[in-house]
């Protein structure tokens, strides 16, 4: 019998298995599809400075662990060695004023001309921006596969195409039979809530859909990661909020999905392809939904980066972010024999490996490298749903 069963083979499950196995635990990871088949592979994969303080230690530790992974696995192309910088773009004077209120010590507030000098491809209609030195690009699916391989090398078993139906402390029912372990760790991203219900726990993790478009390789167009400062919100249920039966009964939601909040995010990969997002909409089902958000994003990109209008779109995809009401993950025990590491909202890559280390230390009862209090799963009950 393994010491720990980890459910989910995204960035969180794979790094959790790695961190547990490296500390001497016997680990079995169960994934219903293939590794990184959920949000992880569909993300933009950026390691951006987190917006809130509690995430800082997870971010710093994740950076360190990913560097280690890239070095061990020879994955130079899966992770920027050095940050390429992030430009938060103000598209209105009001946005620029808000950016000016909170300029970090290492940040530089830019007027319109300075923004156009930093990113000559942008339309001259922009108002200004904030340039930060941080921001690294990753290939999150490759990092996940590398973390799983590191887990295997430390003795873990990684079993894909096994769907977990129910969990209880120390036990899981799967489509392959019954599994037992000292502790079960739920790392099933946006699907963790349903699994937690089977053990009698309510974990407020709601799926928030995001669309991305990826272009064919083009000559250099973007130097930094460019983020529009602030999402334009849409009518109806907001990302992370519940969708009510009355929302479903109303208008187009049941047929077309909820409306998306949108903001332009764009970066160019080392291979020349450009990734463009981002949208946020409460999701009601898997598969394509709220696809109008993709059109809105494309329109926004053509407006802000005019040269993009004539660039070939190679593929588009969408994924489900595991959103919590405060956008912080749940990391820790739900009860003896059952723990969780899920709900990373928009930050699962940038905080992934650090989260894996933290839950591994909590499960093994060793000193955690950072205070786990902000991530306590008991917050879920305090939210009152």
Residues at the contact surface with ligand FAD, assessed by CB under 6 A? 7-13, 30-33, 37-40, 42-46, 163-164, 187-191, 195, 210, 212, 277-278, 319, 321-322, 342, 344, 346-350
Q: For the CB of residue 202, give the shortest distance to ligand FAD in the complex, in Å.
A: 17
Q: For the CB of residue 193, give the shortest distance to ligand FAD in the complex, in Å.
A: 10
54: Cα separation from own chain's centroid: 16
Q: For the CB of residue 259, give the shortest distance to ligand FAD in the complex, in Å.
A: 16
Closer to ligand FAD by CB, 127 or 375: give it: 375
Closer to ligand FAD by CB, 110 or 188: give it: 188
In a 13 Å sphere around the CA of 322, the CA atoms on its Cβ side amount to 30
Closer to ligand FAD by CB, 127 or 268: give it: 268
Closer to ligand FAD by CB, 278 or 305: give it: 278
Closer to ligand FAD by CB, 96 or 158: give it: 158
Closest to 192 (Cα-Cα) out of 316, 363, 348, 361: 348
Residue with tokens 């929302």: 247
Closer to ligand FAD by CB, 80 or 128: give it: 80
């Amino acid at each position: 019998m393994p010491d720990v069963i980890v459910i989910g083979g995204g960035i969180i499950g794979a790094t959790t298995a790695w961190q547990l196995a490296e500390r001497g635990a016997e680990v079995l990871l169960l994934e219903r599809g293939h590794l990184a088949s959920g949000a992880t592979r569909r993300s933009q994969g950026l390691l951006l400075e987190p917006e809130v303080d509690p995430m800082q230690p997870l971010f710093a530790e994740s950076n360190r662990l990913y560097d280690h992974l890239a070095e061990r696995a020879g994955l130079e192309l899966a992770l920027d060695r050095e940050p390429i910088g992030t430009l938060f773009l103000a598209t209105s004077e009001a946005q620029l004023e808000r950016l000016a209120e909170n300029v970090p010590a290492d940040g530089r507030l830019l007027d319109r001309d300075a923004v156009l000098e930093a990113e000559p491809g942008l339309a001259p209609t922009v108002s200004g921006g904030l340039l930060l030195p941080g921001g690294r690009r990753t290939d999150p699916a490759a990092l996940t596969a590398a973390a799983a391989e590191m887990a295997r090398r430390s003795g873990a078993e990684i079993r894909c195409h096994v769907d977990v139906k129910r969990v209880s402390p120390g036990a899981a029912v799967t489509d392959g039979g019954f599994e037992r372990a000292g502790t079960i760790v739920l790392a099933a991203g946006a699907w963790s809530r349903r699994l937690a219900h089977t053990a009698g726990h309510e974990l407020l993790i709601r799926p928030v859909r995001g669309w991305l478009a990826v272009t064919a390789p083009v000559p250099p167009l973007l130097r930094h990661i460019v983020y529009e400062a602030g999402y334009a919100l849409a009518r109806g249920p907001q990302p992370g909020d519940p969708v009510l039966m009355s929302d479903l009964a109303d208008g187009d939601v049941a047929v077309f999905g909820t409306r998306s909040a949108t903001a332009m995010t764009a970066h160019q990969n080392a291979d020349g392809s450009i990734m463009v997002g981002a949208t946020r909409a409460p999701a009601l089902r898997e598969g394509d939904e709220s696809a109008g958000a993709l059109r809105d994003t494309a329109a926004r990109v053509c407006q802000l980066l005019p040269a993009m209008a004539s660039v070939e779109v190679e593929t588009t995809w969408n994924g489900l972010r595991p959103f919590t009401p405060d956008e912080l993950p749940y990391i820790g025990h739900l009860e003896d024999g059952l723990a969780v590491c899920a709900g990373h909202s928009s930050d699962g890559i940038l905080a992934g490996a650090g989260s894996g280390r933290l839950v591994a230390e909590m499960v093994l009862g060793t000193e955690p490298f950072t205070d786990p209090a902000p991530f306590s799963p008991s917050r879920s009950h305090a939210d009152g749903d």
